[in-house]
Amino acid sequence: MGLTSMAVLLLAIVAAVLLFALTIWLWPRLGRKSVGGVLGRVGMLLATQLTMFAAIGLWANQSFGFFASWADLFGLEKGEGVVVDHSAAHTPVQVVGVAQLKGHGTVPRIAGKVEKVNIRGTESRISSPAYVYLPPEYFQPQYAHKTFPASVVLTGFPGTAEALYKGLHYPQTAQKLAKEKKMQPTILVMMRPTVAPPRDTECIDIPNGPQTETFFTKDLRKALAQQYRIGDKAANWGMIGDSTGGYCALKFAMRHPDSYGAAAALSGYYKALQDPTTGDLFGGSKQLEKENDLFWRLKNKPLPPVSLLVTSSKQGEHNYADTMKFIGLAAKKPTRVSSMILDSGGHNFNTWRREIPGTLQWMGSRLSA
């Protein structure tokens, strides 16, 4: 029986109820002051709690799609995703720390390095930290006078930027692919989309609130292009994100094709979510709400000249139907759309690690230096 099957959930619920009832019935009989009685009570309590937690965990997994199968749960799914193309066609940056990539040597020009920076937005008035990965080639003499493409990499909400290199291994994967000549050397800017914590702004310029969209589409690019050898054209810039970060990546490219030429959404969604963590995002403006609905944009706005990649899985992801709908609407010139659809994979790091190599190769083929 599969992890997400109703039969498994019902079995866990029945087991929890039966064990609870059995514990109540046996409790007086295990009341003897003996080692056996004490161990019996402890065992019954542990068994009851384990089955209750299992039932709750299975229900939560069905509701939110964290894991698609037992293999996914235990990290045994290893097959990488395959990209399918559907296309018809004072310095604002302050370096505050440097870290070598573990396991890749200690000489920067060999291993590359990660710099922690603080970015101050002159237009948005937002300040946010980021981790900038500089590939080994950035320090090599033959690249001394060349600019590099850059990809902003976003977490979901709430997320931490550190997870992008500690858990999802973006720099390590990019370095390996570049060494194997499967992608061009690319600067990665790793951030969380929550630049006004603890509020989830859904990457919107909120009326009388945080101007997150302005920060990412104007301030961030300008600041980093001044600090590093990055091109200043949209063709030099891409964005990758998972979950909330994926929605932000698609939206920025579609709404600002003059800022980002390519965007990839891993397990992303297509309309801004509103809940207690977001508050009022649109200030009562129905038009602003429509403008941030990607399906509405595809139906009512001219298609932008950008490249988009979306990912999902047939089993385990709740965005599968919406992703197929998005592909059908967006795969028309001048927009180029690609997809990566797994047979099985949930809303979790293990699934995204399977999708990242293909995503980075795809992004490398869409950006220019």
pLDDT digits (tens, 9 = 90+) for 246-265: 999 999 999 999 999 999 99
Task: Choose among 110, 353, 55, 366: nearest CA to 235.
Answer: 366
Query: Looking at residue 15, what is its pLDDT?
Result: 80
State both tokens at 60: 């939560």
Amino acid letter for position 320: Y
Query: Looking at residue 187, what is its pLDDT?
Result: 97
- Calculate mean pLDDT across residues 126-147: 92
Q: What is the pTM of this model?
A: 0.76
Q: If pLDDT is split at 50, 70 and 90, which confidence band does 157 have?
A: confident
Q: If pLDDT is split at 50, 70 and 90, which confidence band does 336 have?
A: very high
Query: Looking at residue 305, what is its pLDDT?
Result: 96
**Could you tell me which residue, 73 or 153, shows the higher pLDDT?**
153
Distance CA 103, CA 358 (A): 22
Q: If pLDDT is split at 50, 70 and 90, which confidence band does 41 have?
A: confident
**Could you tell me which residue, 76 or 29, shows the higher pLDDT?**
29
- Calculate mean pLDDT across residues 361-365: 95
* Measured CA angle at 320 (ends 317, 323), to 5 deg: 130
Q: If pLDDT is split at 50, 70 and 90, which confidence band does 21 have?
A: confident
The residues with which 35 forms a beta bridge, in sequence order, are: none
Q: If pLDDT is split at 50, 70 and 90, which confidence band does 40 have?
A: confident
Find which of 6-10, 27-31, 71-75, 190-194 is predicted with most confidence, using mean pLDDT: 190-194
Amino acid letter for position 14: V
Q: Sheet containing 93-100: give its strands across.
A: 84-85, 336-344, 307-315, 262-266, 237-242, 150-154, 187-191, 127-134, 113-120, 93-100
Indicate whether 352 pLDDT > 50. Answer: yes
pLDDT tens digits, 95-128: 455 544 444 333 344 468 899 999 999 999 999 9
User: CB-side exposure of 367: number of CA atoms within 13 Å?
Assistant: 35
Taking the alpha carbons of 92, 228, 356, 253 in that order, is the dihedral positive or negative?
positive
Distance CA 197, CA 184 (A): 34
